[in-house]
Structure 1
Amino acid sequence: MSRIGVSSRRGFLQGCAAGALSTLPGAAFADERRPVVVMTNHNDDTLSLFEKGFEKAYPQYRVQIVWLMPPDAMRHLRDASAQSPDVWWQAAPHNHLADMAKDGFMQPLGLSKEGLPAAIGALPLEGEGDLFHASQLTAFGFFVNSKAIKAQNLPWPEDWAVLAGPAYAGKVAMSDPWTVRFGSQLLSVATQSFGWEKGWALISAIAGNAVLTPKGLRDEVISGRQPVALHIDTVPNAEQRFRQPMERVYPKHGAIVNAGYIGLLKKAANVEGARAFAAYVLSAEGQALLPRTDLPRLPVRPDVYAALGKEQFDPFAAQAAGQFVYQPTDEGGGRSTAMAALFNGLVQDKELLSGLWRRVHAAEAAGRGGSHVAEARRALEEIPVAADFWKDETIAAAFRPRRRQENAVAPEASPAPQASASPPEQAQVIPGQPNGLTIPEPAKPIIEKWRAAFRENQARASRLLDEAKA
């Protein structure tokens, strides 16, 4: 597999791509096979497996990789002077192909969709106008160190409620949605699966038990410091393959949270080869490779799961059985920030929250406190906004992303980016964090109001527990 631009993430970070991108499809080969230039951010193991399978199935072509993260890929595609890749195969959760399709950078796949469903639940798998298609799925799950679970005599974490119980105090690792983008999705999984009030009640109890971290969930679980982490399934699946007794558990209330996509660029030099590569990725043979990679992902073809064995989780069967109540919807980047802000208010004094939950659990186990303890629990579980809070235009407008003005122009006329240009804003996150975006000023007083409400709830719980001598 020829690597144009970079051969690895480390190579990219060392800046190896700068000169090579200007000669994308023109690199010379020792043989006469036509290159198929694939722009992607999949890992090396995934690319190697698919390159080998594709070149065996289509010996007239040779894969040529351009490894770019989506924001850099979008800047490259908008550079009118740069030569275009043939295929864009994306592993990132946000569907950047849809963004670029709206601006005219993609062309129809033109492939048979036999065996490829158009959606799973509310998540579309087929792009409008046939301009892209989902190529793999990512689901929410628990990352579990089963050896640590057994050694610490903990109940098996089959669902969220188990992690909310007293046995898991200090034994759950959880990403802070302020710093990890998929963290807000996990909050939505809980609130959709259990309902708004019960979902937040579980979130509060789990947060009280949890160790919050901006990164490093994998290390926390592997070490056994926290036997369970709330996570999307790519890392748990990888560790399950290589580090027994690491396991992933898809809880009874789970979710498909996002998909990766593949599409053909409008300016592709090798349209036939690009279409062949996309066809291979979406074929039964190609899809069966996804669970075998170093970062295993879920196939988008229901017909491949039977051959993968009973241990392979089947999201289509889970969806049909009602396990996946959560339905991803396009609610805008602002709502994810609002959910993160609510969680931040809940855990603003994490030590206090954890201590209050320990007192509630201890009093309940001892049968002390009666109605005072029950009321304290309700105070800790209370969420200061209603389920339909996002319908309030004042709140929605306050959190709405402030996007820079961009010209949606055809690929032939797209301006070349400046060296200092920043990627377009995709969602609101917290300033100073990896996603690099800001909270709009109008949202700050709303956030403070929510934080004050959580403080009052927790102070009330503390007073009630004191009165109950719990």
Structure 2
Amino acid sequence: MARQTALKVAVLSLVVACSAAHAGTVSVLTSFPKELTEAYKKAFEAAHPGIKIEILNKNTTASIAYIKELAVGQRPDVMWASAPDAFEVLARDKLLQPAPEVKNTQVPAKVGNYPINDPDGMYYGQALAGYGLMWNTRYLQANKVPAPREWADLTKPVYFGHVSISSPSRSGTTHLTVETILQGEGWEKGWTQMLQIAGNCAAVTDRSFAVPDGVNNGQYGIGMVIDFFGLAGKYSGYPVEFHYPSVTAVVPANIALISGGKNADEAKKFIAYTLSREGQELLFDPKISRLPVLPNASFGGKAPANYPDAQEIAKRAKVQFNTDLSSNRYQVVVSLFDQMVTFRLKELQAATRAIHEADRRLQAKPNAHGSELLRQAKSFAYSSLVPETMVKDEKFLNLFRQNKRDVEVAKQLTGLEELWSSKAKANYERARDLANQAAALAK
């Protein structure tokens, strides 16, 4: 009896201790790098000694899947990421809950024409971001490569082998970069440009931060990145520069309360802290270098000299980002990019190299038949496998929104992706052969 009583007391004490520890812990699901998350964790815990922050680091696509797989009461408390369309997906699936008390009333309603906070109150802008080009100045000088100013510049032969990008299926910020180009140029022209750029890429990395790390250390010359990667490198002293092309968009990086999390009350305090002036000032740390949702002028001179102004960038940006459009075709874009680029990069590079060589020879020695072959080669290499009419088809889009655990759904998606992959390979090989034929006519 005594032993049983002692055991019960011990178990009860452990349960109480675990509950107490659990009650004071906020689980934050985020794709953000350690430099940012550790800064907020340290500052928040110092201001709220009774609450601990637990960081769960996953890329945005994996984060969505992770939340969907967990039952109510077992989910993380906070979602914190750059992709507004990802938050639209979570809101649509009723995986977020409003927390109006966390809002900072000093935050402007919009950046340009884009709402900083979700109009339905399901998520809140915590920082602002644009998309652009970062480059290593020493690398470009050593390789005699000019600094790019527009996305279209990266399609030129001079950039072959000098560009890097991450996969949008592994990086929410890269998905936004790709989607910005698709919205700015239109679906067909946008994919043509994206495939031409990808053909010039030296690598498609698994994670978004591998691109700026590679540019910072001179492994790559140019990276297609969200602005804070380029700005953090620059303000941290690396020999890099960053530029916003005209086809860019300024949108919020968001934070939200997850429905069915463990500790909503403590989570709300953390979200409110990130939106406060104190929390916003952390964004100016050189290792973070993000654009605050509060105006630069509101920090009383604490913003670094010549720090980018999000509102000014938004005025110049040609793209008014359409979150609904992006979220509706989210899975199609990431899957198509993987099948045409990520998994077929070598074939695309080979086709692009042959096209550049044929182009060079035909400019030196024009040939009508050669020019026609080259036109065909470019069409095979740089055309989307999904026409715009199909990406507007709700039945087609809905296939990608369904539960992949469903055997029939998984079978359909796998079959479609295998078709895209094999078609891309065949197209790139055909493009390379046609380009080689064109080049031979210009000898």
Match of 1:248 among 235, 242, 249: 242
Question: 8 Å contact 1:395–1:446 — kept in the other structure?
Answer: no
Please state if 1:39 is matched with 2:28. Answer: yes
Q: Write the mapping of 1:237-386 to structure 2, written as runs, cut at 5 A.
A: 237-256=231-250, 259-263=253-257, 271=265, 275-292=268-285, 294-302=287-295, 307=301, 308-309=303-304, 311-328=306-323, 329-336=326-333, 337-343=335-341, 347=345, 349-363=347-361, 366=364, 368-369=366-367, 372-373=370-371, 376-377=374-375, 379-381=377-379, 382-384=382-384, 385-386=386-387
Counterpart residue number, 2:53: 65
With the length of structure 1 as denominator, give the TM-score of the two structures: 0.69
In structure 2, the CA distance between the partners of 1:218 and 1:40, relative to structure 1 (3 Å rule), is: same
- Equivalent position SS for 2:383: coil
Question: What CA distance in whole angstroms lies between the structure 2 residues aligned with 1:96 and 1:24?
Answer: 31
Question: 8 Å contact 1:287–1:304 — kept in the other structure?
Answer: no
Please say which of residues 395-404 and 163-172 is displaced more in the overlay. 395-404
Question: What CA distance in whole angstroms lies between the structure 2 residues aligned with 1:24 and 1:134?
Answer: 33
Counterpart residue number, 1:460: 434
Counterpart residue number, 1:133: 124
Counterpart residue number, 2:388: 387
Please state if 1:202 is matched with 2:202. Answer: no
CA RMSD of aligned residues (A): 4.4
In structure 2, the CA distance between the partners of 1:257 and 1:376, relative to structure 1 (3 Å rule), is: farther
Question: What CA distance in whole angstroms lies between the structure 2 residues aligned with 1:295 and 1:345?
Answer: 31
Counterpart residue number, 2:220: 226
In structure 2, the CA distance between the partners of 1:401 and 1:446, relative to structure 1 (3 Å rule), is: farther
In structure 2, the CA distance between the partners of 1:230 and 1:62, relative to structure 1 (3 Å rule), is: same
Q: Write the mapping of 1:385-424 to structure 2, written as runs, cut at 5 A.
A: 385-392=386-393, 395-396=396-397, 399-404=400-405
Q: CA deviation at 1:92?
A: 6.2
Question: 8 Å contact 1:177–1:343 — kept in the other structure?
Answer: no
Please state if 1:440 is matched with 2:440. Answer: no
Q: Deviations over 1:208-259 (max 9, x none)?
A: 3221233443454234343112223343333223242123332232234762
- Equivalent position SS for 2:117: coil
Question: What CA distance in whole angstroms lies between the structure 2 residues aligned with 1:120 and 1:21?
Answer: 47
Q: CA deviation at 1:125?
A: 3.9
With the length of structure 2 as denominator, give the TM-score of the two structures: 0.73
- Equivalent position SS for 2:53: strand
In structure 2, the CA distance between the partners of 1:372 and 1:137, relative to structure 1 (3 Å rule), is: same
Counterpart residue number, 2:11: none
Question: 8 Å contact 1:35–1:62 — kept in the other structure?
Answer: yes
Quote the sequence identity (%). 21
Question: 8 Å contact 2:96–2:122 — kept in the other structure?
Answer: no
Give the counterpart letter for 2:391 in structure 1: W
Counterpart residue number, 1:217: 211
Q: Write the mapping of 1:10-29 to structure 2, written as runs, cut at 5 A.
A: 26-27=20-21
Question: What CA distance in whole angstroms lies between the structure 1 residues aligned with 2:413 and 2:298?
Answer: 42
Q: CA deviation at 1:147?
A: 1.6
- Equivalent position SS for 1:90: strand
Question: What CA distance in whole angstroms lies between the structure 2 residues aligned with 1:21 and 1:202?
Answer: 58
Question: What CA distance in whole angstroms lies between the structure 1 residues aligned with 2:169 and 2:257?
Answer: 31
Q: CA deviation at 1:103?
A: 4.3
Give the counterpart letter for 1:389 in structure 2: M
In structure 2, the CA distance between the partners of 1:228 and 1:153, relative to structure 1 (3 Å rule), is: same
Give the counterpart letter for 1:468 in structure 2: A
Give the counterpart letter for 1:155 in structure 2: P
Question: What CA distance in whole angstroms lies between the structure 2 residues aligned with 1:102 and 1:205?
Answer: 35
Question: 8 Å contact 1:209–1:354 — kept in the other structure?
Answer: yes
Question: What CA distance in whole angstroms lies between the structure 2 residues aligned with 1:165 and 1:369?
Answer: 21
Gap regions ≥5 residues in structure 2: 1-13
Counterpart residue number, 2:181: 190
Give the counterpart letter for 1:88 in structure 2: V
Gap regions ≥5 residues in structure 1: 1-19, 29-33, 406-426, 429-436
- Equivalent position SS for 2:292: coil
Question: What CA distance in whole angstroms lies between the structure 1 residues aligned with 2:167 and 2:416?
Answer: 23
Q: Deviations over 1:270-321 (max 9, x none)?
A: 83x6545433321333223213163333322345588535632333322222
Question: What CA distance in whole angstroms lies between the structure 2 residues aligned with 1:453 and 1:36?
Answer: 52
- Equivalent position SS for 1:174: strand
Question: What CA distance in whole angstroms lies between the structure 1 residues aligned with 2:27 and 2:305?
Answer: 33
Question: What CA distance in whole angstroms lies between the structure 2 residues aligned with 1:286 and 1:77?
Answer: 30
Question: What CA distance in whole angstroms lies between the structure 1 residues aligned with 2:200 and 2:27?
Answer: 44
